[in-house]
Amino acid sequence: MKGITFIILACLMWALDTLIRYPLLFSGKSAELIVFGEHLLLCLVFSPIIFKSAKKFWNAKVSHMAYFFVIGGLGSAIGTLTFTKAFSIINPSLVILLQKLQPVIAIALSYVVLKERMKPAFFAWAILALIGGVMISYQDLAPAFKLILSGKVDFSSKAFTGYGLTMIAVISWGAATVFGKLLGKQGYDEKEIMSGRFVMGLLCLLPFLLSFNISINFEPVFWGKIVILAGMSGALGMYFYYRGLKLIPAHLCTLAEMFFPFLAVIVNWIFLGKDLSMLQISGAALLLMSSTVIQLRHY
């Protein structure tokens, strides 16, 4: 249970992050600038680790650098940007619905890349966990279900761009879980994985900033919020995440990550006064039960 607890703590950090991140986005600040600012600060914070492990990184295999690209370039930078962009192109509920495929991607990659073997009973409990995840997010998913059932889903070229961007994010995040676990197996500790992730993410973000001619915002209030985001979801959140990932298989980790939407709902209930429904509570209970059974029975 210790591994799942760390993942849930990471999800809590990411949920608290939404109280600052979304208001910043809605105020007109670009996603590229926000994500770039976080990575820049995190690279500075982790610079002692980078220098301390410089020889290890310099002598790393090419394959290891490819793994860091997956978790940093794809999972941390490109995945976040494509997911955010998709919201402005297609119905947000469809973006959230497609995002529910992330555990499926991660489980498949766990089998192929990590050679993690899952007993048949795992899939039964995993399906229950996915159902719990859908129950938690049902209010956000309901408009998508209505669109699908009414046959009003947009199939224009613009819409397919949105679907494609969403799937890039889903595959990137699913792969980041698996390759983060793989780096741990190659002898990198949590801080080294985080350092490599943030540096690779920063490098991959630079072309986006240059191509879109995004100007750097020097407002103290803006950067104060970026410091909070970087410390909360970046440093603390990712530390808890990689601590947990080190203790449990990747296919279980991806199920535990589904606690994020429930914790986001709880955060909104506590800080914003939004209602918490019995459906969401029941979904969380189903998700917790399924994840616990899978770990205790080693499925």
Q: Which domain covers residue 43, as residue numbers?
A: 2-296
Please report the pLDDT score of residue 74 as a whole number.
Answer: 93
What gap in Å lies between CA 114 and CA 130, rounded to an integer? 22
Please report the pLDDT score of residue 227 as a whole number.
Answer: 93
What gap in Å lies between CA 175 and CA 190, rounded to an integer? 17
Q: pLDDT tens for residues 129-159?
A: 999 988 988 888 888 888 888 888 878 888 8
Average pLDDT over residues 195-217: 81
Please report the pLDDT score of residue 200 as a whole number.
Answer: 94
Report the range out of 182-191, 267-276, 283-292 with the highest average pLDDT: 182-191
What gap in Å lies between CA 224 and CA 34, rounded to an integer? 12
Q: Bin 188: left if φ > 0, else alpha if -120 < ψ < 50, else beta.
A: beta
Please report the pLDDT score of residue 159 as a whole number.
Answer: 85
Q: Give burial (CB, 10 Å; 0-12/13-18/19+) of 231.
A: middle
Please report the pLDDT score of residue 292 as a whole number.
Answer: 83
Please report the pLDDT score of residue 69 as a whole number.
Answer: 95
Please report the pLDDT score of residue 215 as a whole number.
Answer: 65
Average pLDDT over residues 83-112: 87
Confidence grade of residue 297 (pLDDT, cut at 50, 70, 90): confident
Please report the pLDDT score of residue 97 as a whole number.
Answer: 86
Please report the pLDDT score of residue 217 as a whole number.
Answer: 67
Alpha-carbon radius of gyration of the chain: 19
Q: pLDDT tens for residues 34-49?
A: 888 899 999 999 999 9
Element (H, E) at 271: helix 259-272
For the question of whether the overall pTM of this predicted structure is more than 0.75, the answer is yes
Q: Check pLDDT > 80 for residue 124.
A: yes
Please report the pLDDT score of residue 213 as a whole number.
Answer: 65
What gap in Å lies between CA 251 and CA 279, rounded to an integer? 25
Q: Check pLDDT > 90 for residue 105.
A: yes
Query: In the chain, pLDDT over 90 holds for what percent of residues?
Result: 42
Please name which of 9, 2, 69 lies closest in space to residue 238, comparing C-alpha atoms. 9
Q: pLDDT tens for residues 221-274?
A: 888 999 999 999 889 999 999 999 999 999 999 988 988 888 888 888 888 878
End-to-end Cα distance, the chain: 14
**Do residues 170 and 99 make contact, with C-beta atoms less than 8 angstroms apart?**
yes
Count of the separate structural domains present in the chain: 1
Please report the pLDDT score of residue 214 as a whole number.
Answer: 63
Q: pLDDT tens for residues 53-90?
A: 888 888 889 999 999 999 999 998 888 888 878 877 88
Q: pLDDT tens for residues 76-85?
A: 888 888 887 8
Structure tokens at 189: 């500790």
In the block, tokens 């993410």 appear at: 201
What gap in Å lies between CA 288 and CA 281, rounded to an integer? 11
What gap in Å lies between CA 92 and CA 144, rounded to an integer? 8
What gap in Å lies between CA 260 and CA 124, rounded to an integer? 22
What gap in Å lies between CA 253 and CA 62, rounded to an integer? 26
Please name which of 199, 256, 250, 240 lies closest in space to residue 38, comparing C-alpha atoms. 199
